[in-house]
Structure 1
Amino acid sequence: MKKLLILICFVLFSMLHLYAQESDLSKLDEVVDQYYPDSQAPGIILQISKYGMGTGYAKGRGIANLETGEQIDSLTNFRLASVSKQFTALAVFLLEANGQLKLTDKIRKYLPTLPEETASVEVQHLLNHSSGLVDYENYIPENQKEQLSDRSVLELISRIDSVYFPAGRQFRYSNTGYCLLALLVEQVSGKSYADFMRDEVFRELDMKHSQIMVPGAQVRNRAYGYHLENGKFTFADQSITSATKGDGGVYTSAYDYARGSTSLIYALQLAEGLVTEYPNLFMEVKPGIRYGFGFFFGKDQHGDQVLFHSGESTGFHNVVLNFPNKKLTISAFSNRDDLQIAPFFQDVLQILEVDIQGIGTNDLFTWLSNVYAHRIH
């Protein structure tokens, strides 16, 4: 594993280079000003980074914590929600690369309490959302008050003697699968998921201030989540499902994400080489777009590969794009769960002349929301 991580980190960039032309920078500033005009409200950080080429574009607007008045900047740590899945996938990839598991292993080998109906589900099916496992959110008891853990998710679905479809048959986005992957990491590594991510992922990717949220943990430079209702922002940082880890528990900053994304994308390029051994590693979402290792894989209007994902949870909306050939990362992290990020990010992509193929007339954030809600087939 260490040799692999040394190879991955060999390409770690020094930080940030300007992607947009200088004339575009003022346009980006104007878009931030347009959609997030109130510097005293929860807001956003937009960052554009190019690997190994110096300083790039970053603009924060708004308040990370309304109680303290702390401003949002590149070092503010946000809950990534489903953007976290790419890091969970990397953890599994590292275990595979170290010979500690096979992606064709049946998940019941590691989590034997799962029902017989899941006997055909393999690790790779969890990674690419083709497991057919039920959505645990649909089985949360009405009187549930305590936050669910990944172990709670396992207990919930272990009582369900059905699946949506046979494993590997089709794509259906599943938080359940990534909660189980966190438990898999613990079972195989012998470490807690949070410790494994700290030791084997964040530390090796030089994401020094990133972490998995666990009970009682202190997050430095933390952004708290807020909800806009009747023209006023109210504290909305946690929900019953905010304590699961594998599907959405990463806290990181735009700065740390930019540092880690170089090595992460390099690792995913190595992972793509696994298709020879695992021909079913990636699952088609729709023509031209596949899912694997915590990313949607598509192409822009020039035919260049683009990897993208968003995150939605109580108090937070985020979206990231990575262009391996252009060595470019675009990220937007927000500590408010209104839909302002959807038209905002679409305008950003228009300024940067990025057109992702295959998502139709929807903006990217809305298209992804529809995928998560199973409204795109």
Structure 2
Amino acid sequence: MHGFLPFLTIAVLAGTPTSAPGAHAGAAAAVDALLREYDGDVPGASVLVLHDGQAVVRRGHGLSDLEQGIEAGPRTNYRLASITKQFTAAAILLLAEDGLLSIDDPVRRWLPELPAATEAVTLRQLLSHTSGLVDYEDHIPAGFEGQLHDADVLSILAGQDRTYFPPGSGYRYSNSGYALLALVVERASGMDFARFLGARIFRPLGMADTVAHREGQDTVAHRAWGYSRIDGRWIRTDQSQTSAVLGDGGIYSSIDDLARWDAALYDDRLLRPDSLALMFAPATATDEPGVPHYGFGWRLDGDSNWHSGESIGFRNVILRWPRERLTVIVLTNRDDPEPYALAQAIARLFRPGPAP
């Protein structure tokens, strides 16, 4: 078993930001220097560095709520946006372990409403962005009011009897595919997607405050609100028309809870070794600069695996080097900058080898 949870439990119960003493003390101070633009009365960031199962940096910068003056911290919950996709992929893999579905099932087995053009699309292709599905964001009906949900994505795609390319023949990053996967989870499990995640992933891992958020049905504890800089001022821009779609981006979580998720990726406490191997195997080459391959919910680049999450008012990244037992997580409640370069700079402070 991974030797992480006892340390984390102590840190979380203490309820205060931590930086490790000793060998990492200087690097932890350098992390604070890299985060200066997030300090003060501005939208903030929560940053976690895990090394050999210990949180060597665990702290917040700036504010999670400008209007109320609430500071960001280790327990602040941010909208993860596309980091959600790795949890959606895990849900599908759990159902495959249960024998309730196969990742090679045709998607129309579970969602027969889809048009004939998707007949050859499989769940594996949805997981790896090789389905060629049309982007639902480009076909929201004129005059649609309120927020879209996963079921609305299915309705939109049911009216698009085409794909961008023959399924399995190319790569195109697809929010549509992951919204459909959430619906497959519901139909295969008999539970709604948010409840399934809570029962099978969040609660078993002790991710007590993590939630696939449904307005009016649950509460996001310690919530960060999203902001965008407009005409030189930070304006709350927390929700868009697509923010309620769960499968592609609807989870809220904190660095403390994501530390528990990271720990579960090293052993079989959640997924079997063969399922983890599938998640992190290079399922397809990509056309994204600097991203040679995509797995199931993860971008793969040599010894590292990572994913970003971008939504109106939020920019996030999780970056891992499993062989080195090093993970850097940066969650922010602002629209700019993207924190991938920041996470890389933080990682360079802790990695013994060449720069990532």
Quote the offset at 1:351 in angstroms.
3.1
For the pair 1:32 / 2:35, whether they are aligned, the reply is yes
Q: Which amino acid aligns with 2:73?
A: D
For the pair 1:14 / 2:23, whether they are aligned, the reply is no
Contact 1:29 1:59 (C-alpha < 8 Å) held by counterparts: no
- Partner Cα distance (2:260, 2:65) in 1: 24
Q: Secondary structure at the match of 1:48?
A: strand
Contact 2:316 2:338 (C-alpha < 8 Å) held by counterparts: no
Cα distance, 1:15–1:128 mapped onto 2, change above 3 Å: farther
Q: State the partner residue of 1:374.
A: none
Q: Which amino acid aligns with 2:224?
A: A
Contact 1:12 1:260 (C-alpha < 8 Å) held by counterparts: no
Worse overlay, 164-173 or 339-348:
339-348
Quote the offset at 1:10 in angstroms.
7.2
Quote the offset at 1:145 in angstroms.
2.0
Per-residue displacement from partner, 1:143-166 (whole Å, max 9, x unpaired)?
222100000000001101110111
- Partner Cα distance (1:101, 1:312) in 2: 30
Quote the offset at 1:322 in angstroms.
1.7
Contact 2:308 2:340 (C-alpha < 8 Å) held by counterparts: no
Contact 1:108 1:114 (C-alpha < 8 Å) held by counterparts: yes
Per-residue displacement from partner, 1:75-105 (whole Å, max 9, x unpaired)?
0000000000000100000000111111110
Contact 1:89 1:293 (C-alpha < 8 Å) held by counterparts: yes
Matches within 5 A, 1:130-209: 130-209=130-209
Per-residue displacement from partner, 1:249-291 (whole Å, max 9, x unpaired)?
111100000111111354485325459xxxx971112697221
Contact 2:278 2:295 (C-alpha < 8 Å) held by counterparts: no
Q: Which amino acid aligns with 2:274?
A: L
Contact 1:148 1:243 (C-alpha < 8 Å) held by counterparts: yes
- Partner Cα distance (2:273, 2:25) in 1: 31
Q: State the partner residue of 1:270.
A: 274
Contact 1:148 1:241 (C-alpha < 8 Å) held by counterparts: yes
Cα distance, 1:268–1:261 mapped onto 2, change above 3 Å: farther
Per-residue displacement from partner, 1:15-68 (whole Å, max 9, x unpaired)?
4695973322221111112x324x111111111013544x42123111111222
Q: Secondary structure at the match of 1:200?
A: helix
Q: Which amino acid aligns with 2:283?
A: F
For the pair 1:226 / 2:216, whether they are aligned, the reply is no
Q: Show structure 1 runs of 4+ deviating over 4 A.
A: 9-12, 16-20, 272-275
Worse overlay, 106-115 or 316-325:
316-325
Q: State the partner residue of 2:26.
A: 23
Contact 2:317 2:340 (C-alpha < 8 Å) held by counterparts: no
Q: TM-score, normalised by structure 2?
A: 0.88
- Partner Cα distance (1:224, 1:348) in 2: 24
Q: Secondary structure at the match of 1:205?
A: coil
Q: State the partner residue of 2:307.
A: 309
Q: State the partner residue of 1:363.
A: none
Q: TM-score, normalised by structure 1?
A: 0.83
RMSD in angstroms over aligned alpha carbons? 2.3
Quote the offset at 1:209 in angstroms.
1.0
Q: State the partner residue of 1:214.
A: 214
Q: State the partner residue of 2:324.
A: 326
How many equivalent residue pairs?
336
Contact 2:131 2:167 (C-alpha < 8 Å) held by counterparts: yes
Cα distance, 1:340–1:114 mapped onto 2, change above 3 Å: closer
Worse overlay, 189-198 or 207-216:
207-216
Quote the offset at 1:347 in angstroms.
3.0
Cα distance, 1:117–1:197 mapped onto 2, change above 3 Å: same
Q: Which amino acid aligns with 1:70?
A: I
- Partner Cα distance (1:188, 1:10) in 2: 31
- Partner Cα distance (1:57, 1:345) in 2: 12
Q: Which amino acid aligns with 2:90?
A: L
For the pair 1:256 / 2:257, whether they are aligned, the reply is yes
Quote the offset at 1:344 in angstroms.
3.2
- Partner Cα distance (2:340, 2:276) in 1: 30
Q: Which amino acid aligns with 1:308?
A: W
Q: State the partner residue of 1:73.
A: 73
- Partner Cα distance (2:177, 2:240) in 1: 19
Q: Which amino acid aligns with 1:28?
A: V
Identity %: 37
Q: Which amino acid aligns with 1:322?
A: R
Quote the offset at 1:340 in angstroms.
5.7
For the pair 1:244 / 2:248, whether they are aligned, the reply is no
Cα distance, 1:15–1:164 mapped onto 2, change above 3 Å: farther
Q: State the partner residue of 1:369.
A: none
Q: Which amino acid aligns with 1:249?
A: G
Per-residue displacement from partner, 1:171-227 (whole Å, max 9, x unpaired)?
110000000000000000000001000000101111111111012121110001011
Contact 1:90 1:264 (C-alpha < 8 Å) held by counterparts: no
Consecutive unaligned residues of structure 1, counting only runs of 5 or more, are 1-8, 300-304, 357-377
